[in-house]
Structure formats: C-alpha cells, structure tokens
Amino acid sequence: MTETKVFLLPDLGEGLTEAELLNWLVAVGDEIRVDQPIAEVETAKSVVEVPSPYAGTVAELHGEPGQTLDVGKPLISVAPSVETTEPVKPKSRPVERVETTPVDTKETAAAETYRTEERAGSGNVLIGYGTPGGTATVRRSRARRSTSPVEPVEAPTAATKDDADTKLTTPADDALLLRTRVPGKLGAVISPLVRRMAKEHGVDLGHVHGSGESGLILRRDVEAAIARPEAVPDHTRPVEPAETQALETARLETINHATDSRTGLGITNRTPVRGVRKAVAANMARSRSEIPEATVWVDVDATSLVQLRAGLKKTDPHNTPGLLAFIARFVTAGLKKYPELNTRFASTEDTSGGESQEILSFDGVNLGFAAQTERGLVVPSIHNAEKLTARELDSEIKRLTAVARDGKATPAELGSGTFTLNNYGVFGVDGSAAIINYPEVAILGVGRIIDKPWVVNGELAVRKLTELTLTFDHRVCDGGTAAGFLRYVADAIENPGLVIVDF
C-alpha cells in the first residue's frame, strides 16, 4: 500500500519563515488533484493560495484557521485514492489483520522517512512550477464535512495496551498513522491517536521520553505520563470541543482584563504582532539599527506641474497621469543621474573567512511606492520603471495598488524594489522622517500640495507648495550626492516643461 504523503508548508517568498492559515479550501475526506488549491494563507507579504503537489484523499489538516504555521512543518497529509490502491479480495467474513512487525520498527522507518524529507526541505512547488499532473480531474466525495482536522477515530479494542501499539486494522487506520515531529525532540514521532490521547489528558509531549527507537513516543509512554500524579489534569474525562472553546474564551477574557503592572491600568485588548505588521516591525527595526541614515529636505513650488496636469486633463480627461506618476518619472530620471541612490550595501564573507563589504549597483530601477492597505503598509515595486512613461507608470501604480489592497501581490512585486517613493501627503501631512525600506539605501517622501505664500520674481504670491524629504544611507554616498538628486527632482517639479523634453 502506498504511504500517506505529508506536504510541508513551502517558503512562499524569499526567506519567509511562517504564514498564517486563513482558510482551508478542502476538508478531510475530499479527493484532490495535483496543483489544486488546498489552503489560503497570509504571509508577511501577501495572501496566497497554496496548491497541493500530491493527488489523493485528504487524510489530515495540520492546523486551524488563524493559526501561524512554520515553513517546513506539516500542512496537509494526503492518502492514496481508493482507485490507486490494490483491490482487496472478498472474504467470507471480516478478518482482523494484525501487523506482525513490532510498531517500534514501523515507527522508526516512518520517522526516518519523515526526517529524510525534512532534511531535503519542503520539496514542494507551487502552481505553474512544473508539477506533473496539474490537469488531472478531481472528484469530491464528501458525505459529511467535519469541523475537526481529523475524522473521529474509535479507540482500539485490544486486550492489552501493548497490543494497542501494534494493531493496525484497516487501510483507513494506515492513513491515520501520520507523523509529526515534537518541538524540542528531533526524534520524537507520534501517531494522531497518541497525540489525541495526550491532548485530552493534558500531557505535554515536549516533556515525554519516548521508549521507542530514536526516542519515538508510543501509546504506553503517554499512558505512563498520565499515571504520574503531576501529569493528571484537574478533569478526568476528555474535554468536548464546546467546552474547550468556552475555556479558551474565559482564558482570553481573563488575560484581556488583567492589570498592567507598570501603569496600573487595565488591559483592554492584546493584539498579536503577526503577518504584515510583524514583517514591517522587523524590517523597520533592522533598518534603523543597521543603516546610518541622514535626511535632507526642500520646499518645492509645484504650481507649474499642477497646471500642466490640469491642461492635459482638459484634452484627455480619462488618460491623464496622476501627479505621483509624474514625480515617479522625475525620480527615475534622477536616479540615472545619481545612481549611487539606486544601490544596495552588502556584507559578504571573503576567502579568508572574514567579512568584506561592497556596494551593489543595478542596471535598472525597480521603483517601490508605499501603499496603505487594510493589512498594513506594503511596498509594491514597478520593475524597470526607468523604461516607462508617466502614463505607463500611472497605470502600474494603479494596478499594483489594487493588487496589494486585495492581498494578491506576489513576493516578486513586494520584495524586489531598489528605491522607494512615499506619498504621505495623502494623509494630509507636510513632511516625515521616513525610515529606509531595508535593504534599499534611500526613500523619497512627498508631502501634501497646498496653497502657501511664496516669493516669485521678488513679489509675494500664492503658490502650490509641497515638501520633498530624502532619507539616505550615508555609507553609499555623501550629502552632496543626496542633495544633488533631491534638487534635480525639485527642479523637475518646478519646471516640468524644461525637464520633460529630455524623456
């Protein structure tokens, strides 16, 4: 009989270590095909559907919606379909099959298989990455949909507890012998039956010594832990799901209404830092701790640019770029003139084992722009933005903003920028001490455009003013370069007619 296959959560982006499970798209008992979406997860960059690299019957779902899963850990277990297994010859009466091989040997073999797969990484691919059989048909035969990740299992009816460790009765039971590695115990591998027993009796498997080979935890090990007085929970019967939910709700209410020891104030809510917010926090902290940043700024008269756009809008109201697209065009032109700000500062290990530092330059501009979404601040980037016109940049800004707000931006669209443009003027503010989007080396901020008094040709006038703020990595250039770039963009905004002829 073909063994049940365990699909490990793959790295859904560059260097991501975890993802939050949002929703299961399949249930235990469903038959699935290769490349069929099985779950919707939220990474630190986007919401993606995870496809299955295996075809067969869903045997177990390793996680609940809302749970954060580590990359490389089991996501779903898929058993072979009934059609793919060898036919069973009819018998005159049901005969119970007893495995002749001791379970320790079987558990050891399974554990070694799992460890081999784990050492190789998830080994799983996403849709469109060459998984064979992606066009296979699927049959959904779901007589009932269970709300639990695993279908209910009857307790073994063995005469002794050792027999219960060695008895396998049907192919369905084989599908239930799914392996999971216990945190902190590399060799401890257990079956769902053992895990369920431990959970119902409040036994922490991380502190159970397995009596099987390689530290495998067996049923008798859990029973021994239950027999110890310190391992027996307050309740002596299994807790029903409804009771578990009620206990969890009561626990959260207790936590949320606790008193903060430092301020003496009551705590009204606790919000886990995860997903996009966790990624933003880590990235900003790393930026501030590693990059010696400096900031320069300038007030800019944007009256001519606003008038230029207003004139274009009269002649072509449905195809006129936004002001941000024009500024983006000025930025890409400025980066051609001052390429030091379109680089990355990198540290590498040299041949002697020491650390060497270098500045990496690029042959194009992937222009990132900050976009506020319900999931938090994200920075999609326009690839090869220096090759696009203002109208083309406007189209890409609108497309990527919509994709990012829907949570569908790809890791390549969110993690490959070389320079960031941040329009915080939409929030009604004039300036900001921006934090560089690590590992980039500079970020340009644009404040709101408002009417202000301004001196023009020696006379006071009301003009459309904005503030540009450039924060840069002082390791890649000096203040003269940064000021030169900032002044170039400012001059382009003030005199768009003169600059636009160059591109």
Q: Which residues are catalytic?
A: 474
Instruction: State the amino acid at position 91 in one-letter form.
Output: K
CA–CA separation, 280 and 375 (whole Å): 11
**Backbone φ and ψ of 463, nearest 5°:** -130, 165
Q: Tell how strand 37-42 and strand 47-51 pair up.
A: antiparallel
- Transcribe 263-313 into DSSP letters: T-PBP-------HHHHHHHHHHHHHHHH--EEEEEEEEE-HHHHHHHHHHH
Element (H, E) at 161: helix 161-166
Cα four-point dihedral sign 97, 100, 102, 105: negative
Question: Going by C-beta distance under 8 Å and a sequence separation of 6 or more, which residues neighbour residue 298?
Answer: 467, 468, 486, 487, 490
Q: Which two tokens stand for residue 479?
A: 């203040």
Report whether 462 contacts 486 (CB < 8 A).
no
In SS3 terms, 202-244 reads as CCCHHHCCCCCHHHCCCHHHHHHHHHCHHHCCCCCCCCCHHHH
In SS3 terms, 400-418 reads as HHHHHHCCCCCHHHHCCCC
| Helix, strand, coil content of the chain in percent (nearest 5) | 35, 20, 45
Q: Which two tokens stand for residue 331?
A: 């930025």
CA–CA separation, 194 and 110 (whole Å): 15
Torsion of CA 333, 335, 338, 341, to 10 degrees: 170
